[in-house]
Chains A and B, each alone.
Chain A
Amino acid sequence: MKVIDPHIHMSARTTDDYEAMAAAGVVAVIEPAFWLGQPRTNVGSFIDYYSSLIGWERFRAAQFGIAHYCTIGLNSKEANNEALAEEVMDILPRFLTKEGVVAVGEIGYDEQSPLEDKYFRAQLDLARELEMLVMIHTPHRDKKKGTTRSMDVALEHGLEPSRVVIDHNNEETVREVLDRGFWAAFTIYPKTKMGNERMVEVVRQYGSERIIVDSSADWGVSDPLAVPKVANLMAQRGIAEHDIHMSCYQNALDAYGQSGQFNEADWLNPAAIDQRTLFEGNSVLRGQAPRVDEDEPAKDVAVG
């Protein structure tokens, strides 16, 4: 079964993860720009981070036969450093037009502070100006109010709900998100937020329309195989194949495909130029076999 993980921070993951993901059927990933755990102190750190999302990480994923995309944005936590946030806002437009950037994101609220609100709104305006989709991170604390507020503000700034993905939902938020016409994404964490079993029950109750499963795997305790595992669990629990396909593949494709930067052909039948640029020939394309069996480039990576 093919699955998409539309929210995963691959820069924080190992090549073992890439291999395991490819073997488990993950064909494409979206890596949202976010907080690195350690706060950044200057705009150059953001420039290099965004560059690595559109450059090195994209290339690294392709070596394992996985198509890599990203979202670019100023995360809510670091929006609280106003001087830095101003500088980041200046450089954002340069990155938003790059190859494989599918949305502005992940943006939204953490503590729901005034500065977070200011830069959330500024980025929503940028998304509208550049006709881009938006991926919204909902806060972990005071989630229900924060989720409602995120949607209110998105509408206030003229975004179409069908062009906004609300992420990190739970049983308490999903109803309102779906009722208001937004995409509802669920992050499967092994210990917090949504667990696998709970996700199965959400799909059982709400069906699969506009529901998206992701792992948000990062440098914390998290599981890069969360999406294929949930898909398997759904099958075991008797969820219809159609609902599994929609929630673990098709909805992500439909939502982010609106960007024009996220097309099934990219992984099913890459253009010749993309093969030359990212896949280096036919071996990955044809056999879906990870390229790591060729030891030299990997070794060069390790020492370089």
Chain B
Amino acid sequence: MGSLQDKCLELLRGWLARQLDAAARAWLDEQLAKAGKADRDLYLAIGLAPRKLGKADLELGPEDLTAADAARRGWNPAGWSVDQASRVALLLAAARDEGAFPAKLEQLCNTADVRELIAFYQGLPLYPNQEVYVARAGEGARTNMKAVFEAVAHRNPYPAERFDEHTWNQLVLKAVFVGSSLNAIHEFDRRRNEDLAHTLVDYAHERWAAGRTITPELWRAVGPFIDESMLDDMKRVAESYIPAERQAGVLALRESGMPGAKTLITLSPEIVSEVEAGRVSWETIASEIEKPQ
């Protein structure tokens, strides 16, 4: 048929086939063949996937990730597991019946365990009729289960493509709130906006008032929208005793056209040269945060 769903299903099946033994492969193929038919079979197959196929990490090489991105721009299955990939494959097989699929997905989500939710949300960019799942994705972004939240927020092109500004901003705020990386949010920079910048600065004030720290990544959303009212805040960040905050301050200030911002940057010439040499960036700050303690 050559649809996007078929292409992605074929990729998933190929990756799984490399890793599964013959019995597991046969089980999966049988379930995939049935997936478009009786609901009961689909629900059972999705439920049983980890018991039948295991939960190993999906082994993907750089060429696989390239193929994923070529099939569906922004699709990034790095970090997926075998059961997760097979569950998404089963959904894609079921999604051949485009009309019935959204209701099926909704029912599956309503009775899902944690690992199923992660799979269903990570599969979002692959389902037909992308506009239908905005409310469902928003539900995932409201959860307090961090791994489920990150299935929506991280390495997933769906929110950047489909969320309106309010929902998008709530997603970013929630990420900051639960200690999730902003760097892993797809097209984060493209969706930055003035309202988000002001909300995050308000949040920073709250945290400072309570004597608490702030993730340095927060300032990534603020940089292009720095105005007169934020200069004192940016000065505080750029002069912080925490190295990552000073770096974040400089990175944010570099994105501002404000004359005051340019003056503040001159106070940190050593960080500026690190940035220019490519040794300090939002990515290095993010990976510094994510290092195990």
Contacts and interface: CB of A to CB of B under 8 A. Distances in A.
Identify whether the interface residues of B are mostly helix, strand, loop, or mixed: helix
Contacts of A281: 292
B44 A55 contact: no
Contacts of B293: 282-283
A280 B144 contact: no
A51 B110 contact: yes
B115 A300 contact: no
Contacts of B113: 54-55, 58, 98-100
Interface in A264-284: 271-274, 276-278, 280-283
Contact of A278 (B142, B144, B147): B147
B178 A50 contact: no
Interface string A93-105: 1110111100000
Given A55-B114, A95-B111, A300-B177, A277 B147 contact: yes
A99 B114 contact: yes
Contacts, number: 79
B51 interface: yes
B50 A300 contact: no
A297 interface: yes
Interface in B140-160: 142, 144-147
A54 B114 contact: yes
Nearest to B43: A94
B40 to A, nearest CB: 8
Contact of B55 (A51, A271, A296): A271
A217 B115 CA distance: 27
B145 A56 contact: yes
Most buried by B among A50, A99, A260: A99
A158 interface: no
Contact of A297 (B43, B50, B115, B178): B178
B27 to A, nearest CB: 14
Most A-side CB within 10 Å, residue of B43, B47, B51, B179: B47
Contacts of B110: 47, 51
B111 A94 contact: yes
Contacts of B48: 97
Nearest to A295: B212
B251 to A, nearest CB: 23
A301 interface: yes
Contacts of B247: none
A297 B146 contact: yes
A142 to B, nearest CB: 36
Interface string B31-67: 0000000000001100110110001110000000000
A54 B179 CA distance: 24
Interface range on chain A: under 10, 10 to 19, 20 to 34, or 35 or more? 20 to 34
B55 A273 contact: yes
Interface string A124-144: 000000000000000000000
Nearest to B44: A97
Contacts of B50: 99
A294 interface: yes
Given A58-B113, A94-B43, A300 B178 contact: yes
A220 interface: no
Nearest to A44: B110
Interface in A230-282: 260, 271-274, 276-278, 280-282
B112 interface: yes
A304 interface: yes
Interface string B93-113: 000000000000000001111
Contact of B147 (A95, A97, A260, A276): A276
Nearest to A283: B293
Contacts of B116: 98-99
A53 to B, nearest CB: 9
B57 to A, nearest CB: 6
Given A276-B79, A297-B146, A59 B114 contact: yes
A304 B57 contact: no
A99 to B, nearest CB: 5
Nearest to A304: B144
A296 B57 CA distance: 30
Which residue, B43, B56, B81, B174, has most C-beta atoms of chain A within 10 A? Answer: B81
Contacts of B56: 273
Contact of A296 (B81, B118, B179): B179
B55 A274 contact: yes
Given A280-B146, A297-B146, A304-B144, A273 B81 contact: yes
B57 A273 contact: yes
A25 B79 CA distance: 32
6 contacts: A47-B111, A55-B113, A55-B114, A95-B111, A276-B79, A296-B179
Given A55-B113, A278-B114, 8 more contacts: A47-B110, A54-B113, A55-B114, A59-B114, A95-B111, A272-B57, A273-B56, A276-B79
**Sorted from nearest, which 8 A-B pairs have the closest CB atoms?**
A97-B47, A54-B113, A98-B113, A59-B145, A99-B113, A273-B81, A277-B147, A273-B55
Interface of B: 43-44, 47-48, 50-51, 55-57, 79, 81, 110-118, 142, 144-147, 174, 177-179, 292-293
Interface of A: 47, 50-51, 54-56, 58-59, 91, 93-95, 97-100, 260, 271-274, 276-278, 280-283, 294, 296-297, 300-301, 304
